Amino acid sequence: MTEHLVEQFVDLFQNRIPPELTVFIISLFPILELRGGLIAAKLLGMNLVPAFIICYIGNMLPVPFILLFIRKIFQFLRDRRFWKKIIEKLEIRSKRKSATVKKYRGWGLLLFVAIPLPGTGGWTGALVAALADMRVRDATFIIAVGVLIAGLIMSGLSYGLPALLKIF
């Protein structure tokens, strides 16, 4: 699913905006995040190091805002008929995931963000951390490390392990 969405974005933006901007935009999106950005970067023929940096920044940019404002946004949207059910579903799903995070605190959040699977990542990690009432500073740091780990895993998968090892 992720690969298909990424290919659609690449097709949409290719030859219209620079590849770096395409990768950055894809990395900002929930669900796609850094994972999708790295796939797009590979499809667009970008070098790994600049692609990784752009994807990382794009993925991390929304995190502090989610941590700071998501509860207020949910509270505001819950009063809107169209959004009420969507918000309730997001909260239920996130609260289920937040139980593990609460149990293992930082380690649970780190593992949740670091393992590059659909439904995990910086966006969902920030939502889970906010609903688990984690401190913004602590959650931001843990999510940043998790996104870094996920990025290294995805770099190896997208570009191949030899390309990743050349960096180190």
Residue 42 lies in a domain: yes
Same domain? For 69 and 141 the reply is yes
Pick the residue with more confidence: 166 or 154?
A: 154
Pick the residue with more confidence: 108 or 105?
A: 108
pTM comes to 0.86
Residue 165 lies in a domain: no
Q: Where are the alpha helices (DSSP H) in 14-135?
A: 19-28, 33-43, 48-60, 63-78, 81-114, 122-131
- pLDDT at site 84: 83
Same domain? For 48 and 68 the reply is no
d(CA 49, CA 144): 17
Q: How confident is the model at residue 9 (pLDDT cuts 50, 70, 90)?
A: confident
- What domain range is 13 assigned to? 2-60
